[in-house]
Amino acid sequence: MKKNLHFFALLALILFATGTQAQLTQLSNNTNIRSGVALGSIGVLADKNGLLYATNGTAAGTASYANLKVRIDTTIQYVILNGKIYFTGIAGTTGHELWVTDGTDAGTQLVKDIYTGTNSSYPRNLFVFNNAIYFFARTASNGVELWKSDGTSGGTVIIKDINAGADSSYDDTYTTFFANNNVLYFDANDGTHGTELWKTDGTSGGTVMIKDINAGAASSNVENLTALGNTVLFSATDVTHGTELWKTDGTSAGTVLVKDIASGVNGSSPGQFVVLNNKVLFTTTNALFQFSIYSTDGTSAGTTLVKSFPIASFPLLSFSVIINNKLFFNATTSTSGSELWSTDGTTAGTALFDDINPGTASSGAFLLPDFLSLIQGGNYQTHLFNGKAFFMADDGTHGTELWITDGTLAGTKMVKDINPGADSSLNTGNGEFAISWFYTSTTFYFSANDGTHGNELWKTDGTSANTSLVEDLNPGSGDSDPFMFMFLSNHIYLTADNGDNGNGDRDLYIIDASVTLPVSLLSFTATLNNKAVDLNWSTATETNTKNYNIQRSYNGMQFQNVGSVNAAGNSSKKIDYHFTDADALQTSANKIFYRLQITDNDGKITFSGVASVNILPGGNVLVVYPNPVKGQLFFRTNKDENIATVRISTVNGKTVYAQQFENIQAGAQNKINVAALGKGVYYLEFISNNNKQTIRFIKY
């Protein structure tokens, strides 16, 4: 307890604590649950030992799986495919192998014993791409190599033994997956060229090294892959330039050094890539450990220095947010200490934003981005709280407390001095559960210590008056260390220690208040309709949403508004939207890109993913849908065709369907029955008047 707390302040805190009604429901006690994922109306949970639980949001409906046949390896990321969770499971008879669960004990099964017997294949780096799971796994004969699975035993196969024989192509440090423009990138070592950049289409023949960047047996160790339209920017090492900025379009010829920023073999070591205003910002360092921020449009001339910082003054771009087209981040200088900075990507537009702890002292301003957006597939740096962002800072008087900013000095302020006086209420230095936070559309939940109740759960709407303790779970000065980890059926789930034993065992809770997240897109598609493009999207939830601006691009980078659709505003049910871009085909481009700019009533802006349509030579557009498909596959073109041949082939090149279509009408729907095809990846080839295009689709 704070020694200098005045009597009246202490009395107010005691009265406040005793008058607070319970706002949390305990679902389990001392179960030590550490993680969970929402799966429809069920939450699938795992304790610290990997034991699986399921919950429906009630204490009676929260229990471990009845048949303890498998534990989840919590050190390896799970993935969700077609409403099921795929994970690396640990079982006594099979070791570490690929498993699946639908949230029930009966629906929890071994997908395949890849390394048969009690040996373990250790499936790792699980990644969903084109309706299949890609991962690396070990066998005795192949080592750790590239595999894929459609969720069945028969459909779980090795793609290619990249490093032939028992040696492995997997690199523990650098191998990861990244998808862009229907290309799946990854790092691999074939035993000859070192760890280099590869790509795969799910077939052995389509799994190839893109380029031997660091020629010979040395490795280029590709990292930081970031999409800028159809181009992927990354850092890589070669013998001449050291670690520098590179780019690729998925071809060897299109994989080139962007710029030798630090000439010589030391390299600039680009890192912390962030997309801002159709460019990528990143940090570099030199031999003296001086850090700089650069901006790039993917060209050498367009790669420029934004700002250099003193030695060991590391700008934190990874913990940053974008407000009104400016990036806010922490950086340190000798004159202002560690403070909040902002940049628009130019030197003139980069400056100290607010010297919260004046002079050379540091406020340690530390932004608290909405990392839940990553789980939902969004960009956490653009997801804000009613156009604002929370951060923690010490102004030199009140200790480290919760602050909020709208991107202006007038709108940047301490939310509340939760631990009155110079002591701090927020602290990132106390281990696994030091500080936890969770954004909803109306409330920001976080853990804090007011000096009386220990580290407990708090909530705020960004104002001091509405910032309060939710509940003192570990009564008195004990710490419950709440950790929020899952959002299910409009409720937040958390674990905490209620102090009922000396072991620190954690309990499972649900916040009683029903809250909503901002707009949750279920789908966004672009399809041909005669000589126009139809945009369709569906939302699962909406909160305070004003409208959807439809934006078009012919290069995937520069977008312009082509129309707007009013939003429902607030909704917790599925809503379908539609917009027709009648002027889309007035171009010679071979591809058109679309995205949604989602605007809230308070001015907050976020963006959807990108949808696209392909244009054949001569301005002919071909659209194939639905994709994935189960029974009937349709295609449309925007121009009349007297005659055209359509062929469907497997990934191995075997033709499984061929038909000649006559008198194809522009915009007309043409049907192909693919129900008899086996599950997997196929290619539809459209040939007419010497024009040819191939589109990949998935049969499930």
User: What is the dihedral angle through the alpha carbons of 673, 678, 681, 683, rounded to the nearest 10 degrees?
Assistant: -40
Length of the chain: 700
- Residue 30, judged by CB atoms within 10 A of its CB (0-12, 13-18, 19+), counts as middle
**So what's the pLDDT on residue 572?**
60
Could you give the CA distance from residue 428 to residue 31 in angstroms, rounded to a whole number? 25
Range in 224-228, 389-393, 652-656 with the lowest mean pLDDT: 652-656
* pLDDT > 90 in the chain, percent: 57
* C-alpha distances out from residue 274 to 147, 237, 302, 592, Å: 30, 20, 16, 24
Q: 523-581 pLDDT, tens per residue? A: 787 876 656 788 888 886 777 788 899 988 877 667 788 888 988 877 766 788 989 88
What's the CATH code of the domain at 598?
2.60.40.10
Could you give the CA distance from residue 207 to residue 26 in angstroms, rounded to a whole number? 50
Residue-wise burial string across 354-387, b where 16 or more C-beta atoms lie within 10 A, e elsewhere: bbbbeeebbbbbbbbbbebbeeeebbbbbbbbbb
Residue 235 lies in a domain: yes
Residue 60 lies in a domain: no
Give how many domains the chain has, as a whole number: 4
Helix, strand, coil shares of the chain as percentages rounded to 5?
Answer: 5, 50, 45
Q: 163-202 pLDDT, tens per residue? A: 999 999 999 999 999 998 789 999 999 999 999 999 999 9
Q: 72-111 pLDDT, tens per residue? A: 999 998 998 888 999 999 999 999 999 999 999 999 999 9
Question: Torsions phi, psi of 665, nearest 5?
Answer: -95, 140
156 with 181, same domain: the answer is no
639 with 602, same domain: the answer is no
- Domain holding 673, by residue range, is 618-700
Could you give the CA distance from residue 131 to residue 347 in angstroms, rounded to a whole number? 43
Comparing 389 with 598, the larger pLDDT belongs to 389
According to DSSP, the residues that pair with 698 across neighbouring strands are: 681
How many CB atoms are closer than 10 A to CB 346?
Answer: 13
81 with 125, same domain: the answer is yes
Residue 430 lies in a domain: no
**So what's the pLDDT on residue 18?**
35
How many CB atoms are closer than 10 A to CB 282?
Answer: 25
| Residue from 668, 632, 637, 607 nearest 322 by CA | 607
**So what's the pLDDT on residue 5?**
35
* pLDDT > 70 in the chain, percent: 89
Mean pLDDT of the residues in the chain: 87
Joined together, the tokens standing for residue 677 give 């095809």
Q: 23-77 pLDDT, tens per residue? A: 999 999 999 999 998 887 899 999 999 999 999 999 999 999 988 889 999 999 8
Residue-wise burial string across 486-505, b where 16 or more C-beta atoms lie within 10 A, e elsewhere: bbbeebbbbbbbbbeeeeeb
**DSSP line for 182-224:** TEEEEEEE-SSS-EEEEEESSSSTT-EEEE-SS-TTS----EE
Q: 230-268 pLDDT, tens per residue? A: 899 999 999 999 999 999 999 999 999 999 999 888 899
Residues 6+ apart with CB under 8 A from 3: none
The last residue of a domain, from among 140, 170, 200 = 170
605 with 661, same domain: the answer is no
The last residue of a domain, from among 125, 152, 170 = 170
Position of tokens 């301490």?
414
Mean pLDDT of 121-134: 93
Q: Is pLDDT above 50 for 287?
A: yes
612 with 628, same domain: the answer is no
525 with 551, same domain: the answer is yes
First to last CA, the chain: 61
pLDDT band at residue 4 using 50, 70 and 90 as cut-offs: very low
201 with 286, same domain: the answer is yes
**So what's the pLDDT on residue 51?**
96
Could you give the CA distance from residue 596 to residue 461 in angstroms, rounded to a whole number? 27
Q: Give 61's Cβ-side CA count (13 Å radius).
A: 12
Are 403 and 394 within 8 A, CB to CB?
Answer: no
648 with 555, same domain: the answer is no
Residue 10 lies in a domain: no
Mean pLDDT of 632-650: 84
180 with 289, same domain: the answer is yes
Residue 256 lies in a domain: yes
Question: Torsions phi, psi of 8, nearest 5?
Answer: -70, -35
Global pTM? Answer: 0.77
572 with 630, same domain: the answer is no
Secondary structure of residue 11 in the 3-state scheme = helix
Contacts 24+ apart (CB under 8 A), 327-332: 327/274, 327/276, 327/281, 327/381, 328/353, 328/367, 328/389, 328/405, 328/407, 329/367, 330/364, 330/365, 330/366, 330/367, 332/362
485: left (phi over 0), alpha (psi -120 to 50) or beta: alpha
Comparing 650 with 147, the larger pLDDT belongs to 147
The last residue of a domain, from among 170, 203, 236 = 170
Joined together, the tokens standing for residue 568 give 């429902």
The amino acid present at 530, given as its one-letter code, is N
Joined together, the tokens standing for residue 352 give 């100290």
598 with 643, same domain: the answer is no
Residue 329 lies in a domain: no
Residue 178 lies in a domain: yes
Q: 366-397 pLDDT, tens per residue? A: 999 887 766 555 577 877 888 899 999 999 99
- Residue 412, judged by CB atoms within 10 A of its CB (0-12, 13-18, 19+), counts as buried
Question: Torsions phi, psi of 638, nearest 5?
Answer: -100, 5
pLDDT band at residue 303 using 50, 70 and 90 as cut-offs: very high
**So what's the pLDDT on residue 20?**
42
What's the CATH code of the domain at 644?
2.60.40.3080
628 with 527, same domain: the answer is no
Are 356 and 365 within 8 A, CB to CB?
Answer: yes
**So what's the pLDDT on residue 8?**
31
Residue 391 lies in a domain: no
CA angle 167, 171, 176 (to 5 degrees): 130
